[in-house]
Amino acid sequence: MTWQPELDELRRREEMARRMGGADKVKRQHDGGRLTVRERIDGVLDTGSFHEVGAIAGKAQYDAEGNLVELVPSNCVFGRGKIDGRPVVVVGDDFTVRGGSADATIKAKPIMAELMAAEFRLPIIRIIEGSGGGGSVKTIETTGRANLPGGVGGGEGFFLATDNMSQVPVVGLGLGSVAGLGAARLAATHYSIMTKETSAMFVAGPPVVNALGHNVTKRELGGWEIQTKAGGVDDAVDTEEEAFERVRRFLSYLPSSVHGVPPVEPSADPVDRRDEKLMSVIPRDRRKVYKMRTIIDTVVDQGSFFEMGRHFGRSVITGLARLGGHPVAIMASDPYHYAGAWTADACQKVVRFVDLAETFHLPVVYLMDCPGFLIGVEAERTAVIRHGVRAMAAMNQTTVPWCTIVVRNSFGVAGAVHTPAGRLALRYAWLSGWWGSLPLEGGIEAAYRADIEGAEDPKAKLREIEDRLNKLRSPFRTAETFQVEEIVDPRDTRRLLCEFAQLAEPLRTPGRPRMLPRP
């Protein structure tokens, strides 16, 4: 006698679970241009590596003799798998079963996914569609009561979701209409991505918002243009397959947890590679802009720059890259947006990015061209100085190795915080370096008003003063007093940065980072 009948029953239940919400619901999902949760899990993980947990959990129906008639699985699918051979946890919403709402949720499943990631120190990937296990108006009728948000034990799942950000890499994919708790789970990540045509994210969807007197579509309320520009989501792509590839690439730069260090990979790109265009990429006319991303792509390992949050806080560029195979966090100014000045959005972007670097032991490279904080009415309306102070605190509280290249401008308070205070940071200046407490433009007329107005030729006098002060502002004068340590040939930048990454290697210390207080 064997246990074959029970094994057959297990396989039958597993087969019912794999049907998800049924053929009609699966077809509706595909007709909407979206994959099912199981197809998504297969797409993001290494082939054949998924080990599912709790596959047959759900709501069952039995006949009069107690035999199983139907099993509707939970709308949460989770388990372990691998990405590039490294273990991860993946948890996904099954929109084919009650649209991902609480009626079909077994709350212990997503909670266990978060616990598994924390306990085994594994990255967690959340595939989110619908409310992510949140509520539904029908829940009141099906349960016979109203749910008190949070309640006793009710906040446990989301606490774990946010706490994991201090322990393991957390990635979120918004691959449909994501609302309520689902939106919160998508935001509580180190990297989030959505699809352009088939997804949207909002605290509450159009039916709720329009009931308050508005008239908006999903895309107008929370489409990718809205969310990436607001910083609610980091990136947007055309297809789900592109989203899976970006998730895999993002994780390749990070350790599995704070208890490890990011992996170093072999690099065929020579560390002493020099590029002649770096001698001419910065215009002599300081009013002209240039493409900072060209500089980034030139100095890092070829093809290694992975940009994050391109549409938010656009005067600052952030992303991950490699230098001689060593993973680093890249922060750079973008003169195409506010001349590289720090806006309130840019300051928020800096805080989140340097916290990512600090959490996962990534050395920071800052390619700087910052004329200071944004000034004007809009700057005051958005409290740029408050956000700026917070960004300054975040930079100063980092402990990871830091290297700054002053590419052109460094002015004002925002320009002052280009390396962490109170500890060693390497700093190099290009020949185009230009700095001071404030730019000369606009300040000479005020400071030398009497001299200019009393001159026979005021315009000639102004040019004379500008020429005299510009000579005093030469970066070589600053170097004479060791206020800037090294002025370098721009073509040597890659070699110097690769040396920095090599020097930083033994300083990458694993362990849970300290809490970083913010003003």
- The boundaries of every CATH 3.90.226.10 domain in the chain are 35-57+74-252, 276-437+475-507
* Cα gap 51→63, rounded to integer Å: 31
pLDDT by residue for the chain (519 residues), tens digit each?
799 999 999 999 999 999 998 999 999 999 999 999 999 999 999 999 999 999 999 999 999 998 999 999 999 999 999 999 999 999 999 999 977 565 567 889 999 999 999 999 999 999 999 875 555 666 666 666 666 666 555 667 778 889 999 999 999 999 999 998 899 999 999 999 999 999 999 998 889 998 898 999 999 899 999 999 999 999 999 999 999 999 999 999 999 999 999 999 999 999 999 999 999 999 999 889 999 999 999 999 999 999 999 999 999 999 999 999 999 999 999 999 999 999 999 999 999 999 999 999 999 999 999 999 999 999 999 999 999 999 999 999 999 999 999 999 999 889 888 999 999 999 999 999 988 766 655 566 667 787 777 888 888 877 877 777 777 778 888 888 888 899 999 999 999 999 999 999 988 778 755 545 444
State which amino acid sits at residue 127: I
Structure tokens at 469: 């002060």
Are the beta carbons of 247 and 44 closer than 8 angstroms?
Answer: yes
Superfamily of domain 35-57+74-252: 2-enoyl-CoA Hydratase; Chain A, domain 1 (3.90.226.10)
Contacts of 195 (CB under 8 A, 6+ apart): 174, 175, 224, 236, 237, 238, 239, 240, 243
* Cα gap 375→197, rounded to integer Å: 36
Q: Residue 443's CB: how many other CB atoms inside 10 A?
A: 13
DSSP lists the bridge partners of residue 14 as none
CATH architecture label of 276-437+475-507: Alpha-Beta Complex (3.90)
3-state secondary structure 173-228: EEEEEEECHHHHHHHCCCEEEEECCCCEEECCCHHHHHCCCCCCCHHHHHCHHHHH
* Cα gap 499→186, rounded to integer Å: 37
Mark 92-121 as b/e (b = at least 16 C-beta within 10 Å).
Answer: bbbbbbbbbbbbbbbeebbbbbbbbbbeee
